[in-house]
Amino acid sequence: MTSAIDTGRVVPGATEHAHGPGSPVPVQTRSERFASASHDDFPEVTGRELEWRLTPVSSARDLIDDVLDGSPLPVEVTQAPGVASEWIARDDSRVGSAGLAEERAAANAWSSFEQAHAVTLTSETPVEVTIRRVSPDFAPRAAHTVITARPNSRGLVIIDNSGPTRLSENVEIVVEQGAHLTVVSLQEWHDEAVHFSSQFARVDRDASLKHVVVSLGGAIVRVNPSMRLAGEGAHGELLGLYFADAGQHLEQRVFVHHVAPHTVSRVNYKGALNGAKARTVWVGDVLIGRDATGTDSYEQNRNLVLSDGTRADSIPNLEIETGDIAGAGHASATGRFDDEQLFYLRSRGVPEPEARRLVVHGFLVEVVQKIGNAALQERLLAAIEAELAQIEVI
């Protein structure tokens, strides 16, 4: 199906003058991209499209076009007061409340899932919930998750992914008025796993969302967070941490849409690459709409190269449709170790290999410390240490 949902815009494809796939009329702003819940509404992916040209499409063709197993993916959800976990039908009003698929793989997952997993938070006292998903095999799968924070609720939701998988999914996050939510998407998949995840968020008036993507495991992992600051005073923080080993492809495409006045966003993604053909892709789009007066926005991406033979693509984009803003900016940098930091450590007797590990640890730990869950932070630091143990002197 193709439909217009309550996102403050008409979904292209709904009128005869739409800017849909194949239309001769170019998309003028990021918010005008075609959106649909139907796989067949999107043209075939060739790998030359702007959305796909940095992705190894040939290694994930099944997730883009093949029939996917849409039965519920096994999940374990920790119990907490004021938290409900349930499976809901495709026609439930919560499905599609945060966004619609904007590319063919996401639409394939949307067309294929049988039931959505819904997690709803109502507690005004902070709660922590873990959604643990252990994929059983490499059969191509589809999944759909809806996370809702009701007005004035407080919570942390961790989506903990592991096991062998070939998964295309959509995750919807709705943060209603006055709620404060943190969502962590953790990818520690099997070494040969392939995972596509489109994650849509809507943040209402005076609400806040901290969205964290941590990608460590998997052969191809592509996570696309999209956050819409829909209510006045909404606040969004998008954080990312990734560590690509030899032959691993880790990709993130981030979109922040400032719709309402006096909204604030901060984007900070950090990654490290080590090993032949380690590859990372980060694309950051920020759109400040014409009604988003008083907006304060900043995005940055930093990549640390630890060995030869790696590649990091980093592409920040900023669109501004109003002249009345508090501030907006972006930054991107990719490079090797900081020589001054290494010199400082070595001058105090720290051996060079250990000095390099300390520099990388300090580079990445900033994101980990902002998660707000001591046990998860400790687990991630241990995972980073395991990665660092494999670093060779360059």
Residues 6+ away with beta carbon under 8 Å from 366: 268, 270
Domain boundary among 336, 354, 375: 336
Which residue is associated with the tokens 């300390």?
358
Whether residue 248 lies inside any domain: the answer is: yes
- Do residues 267 and 296 touch, judged by C-beta distance below 8 A? no
Residue 309 phi/psi, 5° resolution? 80, 15
Contact between 184 and 212 under an 8 Å Cβ cutoff? The reply is yes
Q: Last residue of a domain, which of 314, 336, 358? A: 336
Q: Which domain holds residue 183?
A: 66-336
Judge whether 361 lies within some domain.
yes
pLDDT of the residue at 279: 98
Write the DSSP symbol of residue 44: P
Is the pTM of the predicted complex or chain greater than 0.85? yes
List 200's β-bridge partners, or say none.
172, 226
Residue at 90 is within a domain = yes
Same domain as 347, residue 300? no
Return d(Cα 155, Cα 82) in angstroms, integer: 10
Q: Return the pLDDT at 6.
A: 34
Same domain, 207 and 175: yes
Nearest in space to 72 (alpha carbons), one of 120, 129, 135:
135
Residue 245 forms part of a structural domain: yes
Say whether both 212 and 258 belong to one domain.
Answer: yes
Q: What is the pLDDT of residue 362?
A: 85
315 and 351 belong to one structural domain:
no
pLDDT value of position 4? 32
Is 55 inside a domain boundary? no
Do 291 and 367 share a domain, yes or no? no
The single-letter code of the amino acid at 18 is A
What integer pLDDT is reported at residue 21 of this predicted model? 57
Domain count, the chain: 2
Look at residue 60 and tell me if it is in a domain: no
pLDDT at 5: 34
Round to whole Å and give the CA distance between 75 and 81.
19
Q: Are residues 329 and 294 in the same domain?
A: yes
State residue 192's pLDDT score. Answer: 98
Do 258 and 323 lie in a common domain?
yes
* Residues 272 and 374 placed together within one structural domain of the fold: no
Contact, 116 vs 95, CB < 8 A?
A: yes
| Sheet with strand 279-288: strands edge to edge | 83-89, 115-121, 140-149, 166-175, 194-203, 220-229, 249-258, 279-288, 311-320
In a domain, 33, yes or no: no
Q: Is the same domain home to 293 and 388?
A: no
Question: What is the CB neighbour count within 10 angstroms for residue 365?
Answer: 16
> What's the CA dihedral at 183, 59, 251, 200 to 10 degrees?
-40
State which residues of the chain have pLDDT below 50. 1-19, 24, 393-394
Asked if residue 243 and residue 115 are part of one domain, the reply reads yes
Kindly state the greatest CA–CA separation across the chain.
70
- Residue 284 half-sphere exposure, CB side, CA atoms within 13 Å? 25
Q: Is residue 300 part of a domain?
A: yes
Domain co-membership, 387 together with 348: yes
Q: Do 94 and 169 fall into the same domain?
A: yes
Contact between residue 87 and residue 79 where contact means Cβ atoms under 8 Å apart: no
Residue 352 has a pLDDT of: 73
